[in-house]
Structure 1
Amino acid sequence: MAYKKEKVIEITSWLAMTFLLIKFIPIHRLREAMVAFLFKQAVTWLFGLLIVEKDMIRYPFKTLFKKSIKSSFTFEYFVLPSLNVLFNIHYPEKRNFWNKLLYYFSYTSSITLLEIIAVKYTKLIKYKKWKWYWSFLSIWFTYYVGRRYQRWFFKEANN
């Protein structure tokens, strides 16, 4: 069966992220989670589509919406926004600068490392005019902007 490994990875990603969201998002913070999810979806839609249309990255295998969009629906529209929810809900707001920096670094480097592995060993993603450090920087940037948006959006509720 062609692309068996890729199908397993995509299905496992959907199941794992769904489990993580159910397990680690408290019901009383569901509103915050939805804002973080939708914000990251909007940002990844814009950046992801731009990068794919500029022929910098290619997604040879996709389970969903194969003919509708060139980007990966699973990763751009579900996995990354879900990770952003976990990032924002568990953000160490009251910790010092170094702990926050480490938090950003651990999330960003984990995603980048998994992407590098996917590029090397699967047909889920192929770099054309792209490098891993662009992924690292863009993920870091979207986490930062997403965190700023989250703080701004819920500013009155926190006061």
Structure 2
Amino acid sequence: MNLERSIIIFSWIISIILLKVFVPKSKKREAWVIFLFMQTFNWYFGLIVVEYGLIQYPVVLFEAVEKANRTSFLFEFMAFPVLCVIFTLYLPKSKPWHRRPLYYIGYTALITLFEVIFEKHTDLIQYIHWTWYYTFGTVLIAFYICTFFFTWYSKFLIQGEHHVG
């Protein structure tokens, strides 16, 4: 097994552990909503980036799936949705207003850093017409969209619960 496949398998395991550790039982429903929303969102935009030849994923774990899709199954359907779940559930809502941008920037910078390291030192991802600051911008926007969607959904859910029973 090569380095890239080991990283992919390790990332799947870490993603599952992160969900188990950081999602309290009382927040499982919210976690599922965030997770599924971000899978859908990532799939669509991941396809655009790959199909326009901006990024390439030379090494994959599921060859049959990723021949049809060509995006990173790990990143689009597991790793990033898991990080969005944790990001959204632990977003500091009651902290001073200036902490929120730091939270967004910190998570985004960490993901961008890992992607740049993988791009430079492995065959997991290859930038074709892409740079790290595109990653930074798109991840930041994705976190914002995730937060916006979940805030809207939570209000809808709370209103719905008041009308039940």
- 1:116-135 correspondence runs (5 A): 116-135=116-135
Q: Which amino acid aligns with 1:53?
A: E
C-alpha separation between the residues in 2 aligned to 1:90 and 1:26?
11
- 1:9-158 correspondence runs (5 A): 9-64=7-62, 65-157=65-157
Equivalent position SS for 2:67: coil
Equivalent position SS for 2:98: helix
C-alpha separation between the residues in 2 aligned to 1:136 and 1:156?
30
Where structure 2 has 5 or more consecutive residues not aligned to the other structure, the ranges are 160-165
| 2:163 equivalent in structure 1 | none
C-alpha separation between the residues in 2 aligned to 1:102 and 1:158?
28
Query: With structure 1 as the length reference, what TM-score do the two structures score?
Result: 0.95
C-alpha separation between the residues in 2 aligned to 1:106 and 1:36?
20
Q: Deviations over 1:62-90 (max 9, x none)?
A: 00123221111011111000100000111
Q: Which amino acid aligns with 1:111?
A: I
Q: Which amino acid aligns with 1:124?
A: L
Q: Which amino acid aligns with 1:91?
A: L
| 1:7 equivalent in structure 2 | 5
Q: Give the stretch that moved more between structures: 92-101 or 137-146.
A: 92-101
Q: CA RMSD in A?
A: 1.2
Q: Which amino acid aligns with 2:43?
A: W
C-alpha separation between the residues in 1 aligned to 2:97 and 2:106?
14
Residue 157 of structure 1, CA deviation: 4.7
Query: With structure 2 as the length reference, what TM-score do the two structures score?
Result: 0.91
